[in-house]
Amino acid sequence: MITRDKLYIGGRWVPPGDPDLLKIRSPHDQSILGRVAQATNADIDRAVAVAREAFDHGPWPVTTPQQRQDVIRRLNTLRETRADEVAAAVSAENGSALWFTKMGQPFLTRQVTAYLKAASDLAWEETLEPSDPTAPYDTIVRREAIGVVAAVIPWNSPFSAATAKLVPALLAGNTVVLKVSPENSLSMMLLADLFTEAGLPEGVLSILAANRETSEHLIAHPDVDKIAFTGSTRAGRRIASIAGEQLKRVSLELGGKSAAIILDDADISSAAEGLKFGSLGNNGEACILQTRILAPRSRYLEVVDALKEMVQSLKVGDPSAPDTFVGPMIRPDQQQRVLSYIKLGIEEGARLVTGGPQIPNGLENGNYVTPTLFADVDNSMRIAQEEIFGPVLVVIAYDGIDDAISIANDSEYGLSGGVWSASTDHALQVARRIRSGTVTINGSPISFDGPFGGYKSSGTGREYGAVGLSEYLEYKSITRKR
């Protein structure tokens, strides 16, 4: 059992305000994985004060972009050398299957590499000639750090969410207080070790696990200049209201209920195999998953049968086992939440194709849910409109392309989506009409060079690449006489 009895504040391990340690339990069998210190409001105040001092008087904001990139590059290399350790730690805490956390390691590398390229290509200071050649001045445009960033991330994919915020914030010269979920306390302390080893100066970064109330204390702190949040839409609305009251910069990556449109010329077996990853990866606990499957009425039964075969083939069990595809839900309350949605789908009149509210045999001690597929679903049903965050798929019939696009867009969310077709050009025409921040064609992975974020209630602002880096910058214009 691992014990972490100190907090990581400003790059130093310090005693917590509350000496009681939180027990971290395995979602697989409820065994105790470790005991970890949790931050109080007073600890948050300490972390913000350290970050404020480091930004206002420390060296980090005035180091060169190249020096900051060197630190992040070292961090990336260090994490790569400990990739198996990182994957195992996240699987143990989250219940994410080991295939998923291992597959995520090279994706983290690509994510960081894209940010490094964006920072290297960026004109941190440039001179603009006036559009009027007779004007007696020119303009220097500077891109500068915002200040103290409060980054708040969820439990479902902690290293990816942390990377999406920490790397651009630090490359821009900001100081950061990262608030992580209690469920991820162990793996996120591993991230703290990596930053220290990479040579990040003291004061620049704090990584603290804390509950929801303490998170709000951080977000509302008057010395925080920018909020970066990933989580539920409900929480995002609350954070946006706080940011609005204080006129803080804010970016929000929120929920999703994304649609995958299978066109009538698609290879159904290939689509079903691709949706295994795009709809049920990470145990279904991911905001970008395409959990509404839209099938042409002419091939509807074929699609349902292919998805049924795929869902029934998934091995459910110990997330550390190499052949497990779906592990347990993160907590018992999340397990019960998903089970309640499965029962709701039955009550709403959807046809239960496979799965159901029963817990898989032999896994009663863990937070397990049987992967479930519903057919004959109307898009107005709650199981088609609300984010379930578990291994539950719904299949909806459509009549023609216009109907498919109308159903896909009939959602309060707009985070992700997919199109499956034998013709990339045809799929691209459909993708352009989907009101969503990201759309993949035939199971293509999301690019880390392009912007990632949501339309509508899926958030505001973008992450990844040059656009994601710009979220952590202020723009200053200095005019001078020529």
pLDDT 10s digits, 146-168 = 999 999 999 999 999 999 999 99
Q: Are residues 338 and 426 in the same domain?
A: yes
470 within a domain of the structure (yes/no): yes
Residues 83 and 183 in one domain: yes
Mean pLDDT on 315-336: 97
Same domain, 183 and 312: no
Catalytic residue of the set 183, 216, 253, 471 = 253
Q: Chain-wide mean pLDDT for the chain?
A: 97
Q: Residues 393, 86, 36, 5: what is their CA dihedral angle, to the nearest 10 degrees?
A: -170
Catalytic, out of 93, 216, 285, 287: 287
Q: Is 93 a catalytic residue?
A: no
Among residues 128, 141, 142, which one has the least CA distance to residue 482? 128
CB atoms within 10 A of CB 362: 10
Domain identity same for 228 and 275: no
**Residue 253: active-site member:** yes
pLDDT of residue 482: 81
Residues 83, 208, single domain; the answer is: yes
pLDDT at 46 over 90: yes
Q: Which pLDDT tens digit goes with each residue over 269-309?
A: 999 999 999 999 999 999 999 999 999 999 999 999 999 99
* Per-residue model confidence (pLDDT) at position 424: 97
**Residue 59's pLDDT band (cuts 50, 70, 90):** very high
Residues 13 and 134 grouped into a single domain: yes
By residue range, what is the domain housing residue 125? 2-254+459-481
Q: Is residue 369 part of a domain?
A: yes
**Does the pLDDT of residue 461 top 90, yes or no?**
yes
Is 382 part of a structural domain of the chain?
A: yes
Number of domains the chain contains: 2
Which residues, in sequence order, are bridge partners of residue 14? 7
pLDDT above 90: residue 91? yes
Mean predicted confidence (pLDDT) in 52-73: 97
Q: Assign 423 a pLDDT band (cuts: 50, 70, 90).
A: very high
The answer to whether residues 304 and 174 belong to one domain is: no
Mind listing the pLDDT tens digit for each residue in 379-390? 999 999 999 999
**What pLDDT sits at residue 124?**
97
Given this model, what pLDDT does residue 256 score?
97
**192-231 burial by CB neighbour count: b if 16+ within 10 A, else e?**
bebbbebebeebbbbbbbbeeebbbbbbbbebbbbbbbbb
Do 142 and 10 fall into the same domain?
yes
Asked if residue 466 lies in contact with residue 118, where contact means CB atoms within 8 angstroms, the answer is yes
Average pLDDT (425-447) is: 97
Is residue 83's pLDDT more than 90?
Answer: yes
Token look-up 């905001």 returns: 287
Q: Say if residue 83 is exposed, middle or buried (CB neighbours under 10 Å; 0-12, 13-18, 19+).
A: middle
Does residue 463 fall inside a structural domain? yes
CATH number of the domain residue 132 falls in? 3.40.605.10
Q: Minimal CA–CA distance to 1: which of 27, 24, 28?
A: 24
How far is the C-alpha of 65 from the C-alpha of 51, rounded, in Å? 19
Residue 452 belongs to a domain: no
Q: Is the pLDDT of residue 422 over 90?
A: yes
Do residues 184 and 209 touch, judged by C-beta distance below 8 A? yes
Query: Which pLDDT score is estimated for 315?
Result: 98
Say if 114 falls within a structural domain.
yes
Please tell me the predicted confidence (pLDDT) of residue 323: 96
Residue 139: inside a domain = yes
Q: In the predicted model, is pLDDT for residue 1 greater than 90?
A: no
Q: Which of 171, 226, 248 is nearest to 469 (CA)?
A: 171
Query: Is residue 315 domain-shared with residue 249, that is, in the same domain?
Result: no
Q: Is residue 454 part of a domain?
A: no
Q: Are residues 386 and 470 in the same domain?
A: no
| Gap between the Cα atoms of 460 and 462, Å rounded | 7
Rg (CA), the chain: 23
**Judgement on whether residues 165 and 19 belong to the same structural domain of the protein:** yes
Q: How confident is the model at residue 471 (pLDDT cuts 50, 70, 90)?
A: very high
Same domain, 224 and 274: no
**Residues 211, 216, 222, CA angle at the centre, nearest 5°?**
140
- Closest-CA residue to 351 (of 305, 391, 400): 305
Residue 218 has pLDDT above 90, yes or no: yes
Q: CB pairs under 8 A, 24+ apart, for 370-373?
A: 370/316, 371/280, 371/284, 371/311, 371/314, 371/316, 371/326, 372/311, 372/342, 372/345, 373/304, 373/307, 373/308, 373/311
CATH code of the domain containing 283 = 3.40.309.10
Task: Kindly tell me if the per-residue pLDDT of 3 is higher than 90.
Answer: yes
